[in-house]
Amino acid sequence: MFPKITPQGIQFKLWAPEADEVVLRVYDGDTSRDFPMLRDYAGKHSYRLPNSAREVHYHYLINGQALPDPASTYQPQGVHGPSMVVDFDQHDWVDDQNWHGIPQTDLIFYELHIGTFTACGTYLSAIERLDELVDLGITAVQIMPLPQCPGRWNWGYDSVQLFAPNNNYGSPQELCEFIKACHRRGLAIYLDVVYNHLGPEGNYLGQFGPYFHDKATVWGDCPDMGRAEVREFFITNARYWIEQYHFDGIRFDAIAMIYDPMPVHIMNEIGTLYRELSQQLGREIHAIGESNIYQPEFLPEHGGNMHALWSDDIGHAAEACVAPINKHGTRHYNGTEDLLTALQQGCLYYRTAQGHGQRRSKDAPKVLINRCVNQLQNHDIVGNSPSGKRIHHYASTDAQRALAALIMLYPTLPMIFMGEEFSANTPFLFFTDFECAELRTAVELGRAREFPQHSWEAAISPTSPEAFYQSKLPAQADGEYSSLEWYGALLRERKKWNALELLQREHMEVLGVCEQGLYVLNYSSSDHSRFVAVKLGTGCSTLSISASKQIHCQSGMVSLQQNQLSMTENSCIIGSGLIEGL
Q: Active-site residue numbers?
A: 253, 290
Q: How many distinct helices (H) and strands (E) make up the chain?
A: 14, 32
Among candidate residues 239, 203, 235, 242, the one with its CA nearest the CA of residue 221:
203
CB atoms within 10 A of CB 353: 6
Cα 116 to its chain centre, rounded Å, is 15
Q: In this structure, what DSSP letter does residue 463 have? A: T
Across the strands, what pairs with 253? none
Q: How far from 458 is each of 6, 327, 380, 534, CA to CA, in Å?
A: 56, 17, 19, 35
Cα 488 to its chain centre, rounded Å, is 21
CB atoms within 10 A of CB 323: 17
How far apart CA 157 and CA 374 sit, in angstroms, is: 21
Residue 178 near residue 121 (C-beta atoms within 8 A): no
How far apart CA 523 and CA 497 sit, in angstroms, is: 9
Among candidate residues 482, 440, 480, the one with its CA nearest the CA of residue 461:
440
Residue 536 near residue 567 (C-beta atoms within 8 A): no
Give residue 165's identity as a one-letter amino acid code.
Answer: P
